[in-house]
Amino acid sequence: MANRPAQFDVVVVGGGLGGLSVALRLADSGIGVGVLLKRPSTESSSAWAQGGIAAALDPADSPADHVADTLVAGAGLCHPGIVEFVAQSAPGAIRWLQEQGVAFTPVDAGHPGDLHLTREGGHSRRRIVHAADATGKAVMTSLAERVHRHPGITLLTDRIAVDLITAGKLRSRGPNRCLGLYALNRQTGRVETIAARAVVLATGGASKVYLYTTNPDTSTGDGIAMAWRAGCRVANMEFVQFHPTCLYHPQAKSFLVSEAVRGEGGMLRLPDGRRFMPDHDPRAELAPRDVVARAIDAEMKRGGYDCVYLDITHRPAGEVLQHFPNIAARLREYGIDMTRQPIPVVPAAHYTCGGIVTDRNGATDLPGLYAIGECTCTGLHGANRLASNSLLECVVFGAAAHDRILAQLGQRSPAAPVLPDWDESRVTDPDEQVIVSHNWDELRRFMWDYVGIVRTNKRLARARHRVELLREEIAEFYGNFRITNDLIELRNLCQVAELTITCAEARRESRGLHYNRDVPATLPDREARDTILTPRATRRRAPLARA
């Protein structure tokens, strides 16, 4: 007997800042929302963010200056209209977060309305609103508390989305649109059917496709892979931001040392103590992340070093501890006193600048499907994300998507067909889970070696060959055995890896975060194009075209 599917007006997939911001706005407007969570919101990538949120609040600053800095960092690929829209919306986004209870760090305790602003790499002004050095945690704690109390929001916890359900897949009459999704309940092991009039993908990035990353284990590109399989375009996947300063320590896992440490005067040094960033860029430690990451990578390869060192010991100890209490406390757990010792650091995969193509309202190519945050390609980040624009993007596009979804739900739509249950009639339990873990390890290692900070045509060809073999093995396993969380994530990561390699092969230049030693020159900005992939139109190479 068929199980009756869960039914919502809107299902939000993901519990980071993008997901919770749109869920809260919709629920406050009287819309019934289900929020699908792999892990608690306080364990999302948003919650791990240390630095802050960019907004032109200082009288000496302006949205125009914020736009200019974003365009410089984006290396000719930002969409100016989108950048202007986000920069102008930034002060309002900060006010909305304060209304949700987020307590940002003030200039002094006696004047809580005057927010302290810090500066990060690529910014010409102090414009980073922050909550000490754990902004993401403060933001997500406040929003999660509201979400848990909200009567209009149903939390679907400990579940991972498997695939979107579309009218096209069901061969329904009328135009293709999103009807809901299948999700694995990790507690019961059963796949559930969830129907919705609109689905919002807010699943974060895909940095777990690399061996070393600053991201939580949930960053497996689920939304990007599902949208691609549902027929949506994906763009600019070659632009993977490697954060320059991830803690290098045998017991530390994915601990990022904030960009703000360099913003407050931290210097990068070699093991012999020599400062090296001025040799690579006149902006030194305040250069954009792609420049700093490549410089560190080059110095490590040149000298055969395991790491470099981030040194802020020349600043007063009290000032350092005031600015970075959480980082200092975490480092002490590993025996490092950042006021007296340089911090060992290495680059690590940090942010996916490409993703699902959306408009300024978060709408994808598939009617009824929206996407917000790191899983998207909106035109904001271009070839390299400017520091602290990511949390901002989540709030701004969460508001825009809310407006568009309300308009969509107000329109009369055709009756949705009955959604079929997940079919497990021809599969068995997995016989060798070791295949999944081995494929996972192989994928992440060859992506790190061949599609990392510095690439070559030969490395990309090797990665292409390996990902095609893995894809066939994973497809066979997926088709014959009951799915598990690990298999779902491996399938998605393999798809993301293939999209990343395809985009990297298509770009015949080096730009922003994509550096290919065989084509090191950058084309004139007037010739800059997004790398857009279209499902079924081509699975190998896509022409470069402006989104």
Q: Residues 303-344: pLDDT tens digits?
A: 999 899 999 999 999 999 999 998 999 999 999 999 999 999
pLDDT recorded at residue 288: 79
Q: Is the pTM of this model over 0.85?
A: yes
pLDDT recorded at residue 543: 30
pLDDT recorded at residue 528: 92
359 pLDDT band (50/70/90 cuts)?
very high
Instruction: Check: CB of residue 21 under 8 Å from CB of residue 398.
Output: yes
Give the residue, 42 or 420, on which the prediction is more confident: 420
pLDDT recorded at residue 107: 87
Residues acting as catalytic residues: 289
Least confident of 109-123, 327-341, 348-362: 109-123
Residues 6+ apart with CB under 8 A from 168: 176, 231
**Predicted confidence (pLDDT) at residue 489 exceeds the cutoff of 50:** yes
* Cβ burial, residue 333 (10 Å; 0-12/13-18/19+): exposed
pLDDT recorded at residue 429: 77
User: How does pLDDT run across 427-443, given as a tens digit for each residue?
Assistant: 887 766 777 888 989 99
pLDDT recorded at residue 542: 32
- CB-side exposure of 201: number of CA atoms within 13 Å? 35
Q: Three-state SS across 179-195?
A: EEEEEEECCCCCEEEEE
The ranges assigned to domains in the chain are: 246-347, 434-533
Least confident of 21-25, 133-137, 372-376, 454-458: 133-137
User: How does pLDDT run across 157-198, given as a tens digit for each residue?
Assistant: 999 999 999 999 888 777 899 999 999 999 999 999 999 999
Instruction: Check: CB of residue 483 under 8 Å from CB of residue 184.
Output: yes
Instruction: Check: CB of residue 240 under 8 Å from CB of residue 214.
Output: no
Specify whether domain 246-347 bears CATH 3.90.700.10.
yes
**Predicted confidence (pLDDT) at residue 1 exceeds the cutoff of 70:** no
Fold of 434-533: Methane Monooxygenase Hydroxylase; Chain G, domain 1 (1.20.58)
